Amino acid sequence: MEPVKVGLLGLGTVGGGVVNVLQRNASEISRRAGREIRVTHAVARTLDKDRICGVNDIELSTDAHALVNHPDIDIIAELIGGTELSKELVLTAIENGKHIVTANKALIAIHGNEIFEAAQNKGVMVAFEAAVAGGIPIIKTLREGLTGNRIEWLAGIINGTGNFILTEMRDKGRDFADVLKEAQALGYAEADPAFDIDGTDAAHKLTILASIAFGIPLQYEKVYKEGIDKITREDVFYAEQFGYRIKHLGIAKDTEVGIELRVHPTLIPERRLIANVDGVMNAVLVKGDAVGPTLQYGAGAGADPTASAVVADIVDVVRVLTTDPENRVPHLAFQADSLSETPIAAMGDIKTAYYLRMDAVERPGVLAEVTGIFAEGGISIEAIRQQEPAEGAGFVPIVFLTYIVREQAMNEAISLIEALDSINGTVTRIRVEHLG
C-alpha cells in the first residue's frame, strides 16, 4: 500500500519531535498502523536554522498555504500554535478533504466547535490528543476508555511549565524569572509564556477536557482563571504546616447548579498522589461513577512527550482512513447532535473549602472580630494559626482553613474582613480541594 503522506505545519520543538519519533520508531509504527507513515513536506518560519531533527527526506518551505492546498498530502499536522493563521490553515485543509492532527489547545478551545462542524461536513478527522497534558493519553482515556461512565469531576495539573516553576521554587528556592527562562530553553513554555503563568494555557486545556467529560460544547470564555503568579513562598510554607501542597489545578465538576469550570492555585492534602506530581509532569484525576477515581500521570510538555501524542493521533487517523465517518469516535466523545446545554456554574455558586491569610494588628479582640464575621456568614473554621511576624512588620500573619462554604458567602466575609481597621491590606484566599 502507498505510504500515508503527512505535511507538518511547524518544525520547532513539537514538529522536530514528531519527525524524530516517526523516524526512530518507523517499523513499529507502520506495523501498528498497517501503512508506512511518511513526513513528506514541512513548513517552517525560516529554512536556514539548526533543528532537533534530520530533514533530508522532507521538502521544506515557508509557504503554509501551499502545504494545506497540496494535492498529495493526506494528513496535516498543525503545530504552529496561535488562533488566527492556524484556524485559517486548518479550515482550508479540511475544505481540501485533509485530516488534521493538532497540538493547539488554544485553537481547539476557542474555535473547536466551528472546526469540528466543518470537519464533520467534509467527513474528515480532527485529532488533538497533544493539546492536553502533553504525552498523557487523557483524551483517548476520557473519550474511549471511560465511555461507560458518568463523569462526576476531574482535576488536573495540566500546565507543565507552571508546575516546573512551582516545584523548583519550593524545592530549591530558585527565583521565578530564572526558572521560567529554563522552562523556555527546555521547550516547555508557550510562545507567549504569560499563558503558562496566568492560567490561560490551563484554561484552554480544561475547556477541552470538560467538553469531552460532560458532552457540552467548548466554552473557553466561561472558565474562571487565576494563575501561579498569586502564589507566595509564605503560602507554600504555611500550607505545608497544615499538611497541604499548593498546586495549580484545572477543575471541572458536574454539580446541581451547573458545571464548574475553574483553574486556580489549590491546596491539596499532601497524602494525595496528585499533590506529589512535580516538575514538568502533569496528572489528571478523573472520577467516574462506575470506575471510581483514576489518575493518569506523565510529562506535560517537551518535544518527545508531545510528539508521542501527535504520532498516536496520526496512527489513529491512518487506521480509520477507510472507515465510514459516521462510525468514527466523535470529536467531543458525544455525538455532535447530542451535546447538552447544561449551564456553566457561576463562581459565586461553587462550594469549596478555603485557606485564608491576613495581616492583623497584634491586640486583644482582633481574632474575635474576624471570627465574628465568619460566624455571621455561616463559615465554619477548621484550623487557625498565628504565624511569626516578619521582623519590624508591625502585623502578625494569621492563617485560617475553613470548611466547605459557598463562594459568594466567602466573598462577602472577605470584604468585611478587609474593611476592619485591625486588618492590613487584602486577604489572600486559596481554594482547598480534598479530592477524596
**Residue 433 lies near ligand HSE (rule: CB under 6 A):** no
Residue nearest to ligand HSE (CB): 161
Count of other CB atoms within 10 angstroms of residue 289: 10
As a whole number of angstroms, the distance between CA 231 and CA 229 comes to 6
**Residue 188 lies near ligand HSE (rule: CB under 6 A):** yes
**Residue 313 lies near ligand HSE (rule: CB under 6 A):** no
Bridge partner list, 430:
355
**Residue 274 lies near ligand HSE (rule: CB under 6 A):** no
Produce one character per residue of 304-326: b if its CB has 16 or more CB atoms within 10 Å, e if not. bbbbbbbbbbbbbbbeeeeeeee
Cβ closest to ligand HSE, residue 168 vs residue 201: 201
**Residue 12 lies near ligand HSE (rule: CB under 6 A):** no
Cell 464533520 appears where?
120
Q: Are 389 and 396 in contact (CB under 8 A)?
A: yes
**Residue 134 lies near ligand HSE (rule: CB under 6 A):** yes
Cβ closest to ligand HSE, residue 94 vs residue 106: 106
| Bridge-based pairing state of the strands 395-402 and 351-361 | antiparallel
Kindly indicate which of the ranges 188-196, 219-227, 241-249, 329-337 contains the residues binding ligand HSE, using the contact rule CB under 6 A.
188-196
Nearest 5 degrees, angle CA 291-CA 295-CA 297? Answer: 150
Query: Is 205 annotated as catalytic?
Result: yes
**Residue 13 lies near ligand HSE (rule: CB under 6 A):** no
User: Which burial class, exposed, middle or buried, applies to 48 when counting CB atoms under 10 A from its CB (0-12, 13-18, 19+)?
Assistant: exposed
As a whole number of angstroms, the distance between CA 344 and CA 33 comes to 39
Q: How far is the CB of 348 from ligand HSE (least distance, A)?
A: 29
What would the grid cell of residue 22 be?
A: 516517526
Q: How far is the CB of 207 from ligand HSE (least distance, A)?
A: 13
Q: How far is the CB of 294 from ligand HSE (least distance, A)?
A: 21
Q: How far is the CB of 425 from ligand HSE (least distance, A)?
A: 32
Helical packing angle, 200-214 and 160-172, nearest 10°: 120
Kindly indicate which of the ranges 116-124, 156-164, 233-241, 422-430 contains the residues binding ligand HSE, using the contact rule CB under 6 A.
156-164
**Residue 224 lies near ligand HSE (rule: CB under 6 A):** no
What would the grid cell of residue 247 be?
A: 498546586
As a whole number of angstroms, the distance between CA 52 and CA 66 comes to 24
Cβ closest to ligand HSE, residue 192 vs residue 240: 192
Residues numbered 190-209 forming contacts with ligand HSE, rule: CB under 6 A: 190, 196, 201
**Residue 352 lies near ligand HSE (rule: CB under 6 A):** no
Produce one character per residue of 211-221: b if its CB has 16 or more CB atoms within 10 Å, e if not. bbbbbbebbbe
As a whole number of angstroms, the distance between CA 106 and CA 83 comes to 6
**Residue 308 lies near ligand HSE (rule: CB under 6 A):** no
Kindly indicate which of the ranges 69-77, 82-90, 155-163, 229-237 contains the residues binding ligand HSE, using the contact rule CB under 6 A.
155-163
Q: How far is the CB of 76 from ligand HSE (least distance, A)?
A: 19
Q: How far is the CB of 353 from ligand HSE (least distance, A)?
A: 27
Q: How far is the CB of 282 from ligand HSE (least distance, A)?
A: 7
**Residue 80 lies near ligand HSE (rule: CB under 6 A):** no
Annotated active-site residue in 105, 140, 205, 287 = 205
As a whole number of angstroms, the distance between CA 358 and CA 389 comes to 11
Residues designated as active site: 205
Which residues make up the interface to ligand HSE (CB under 6 A)? 134, 159-161, 188-190, 196, 201, 300-301
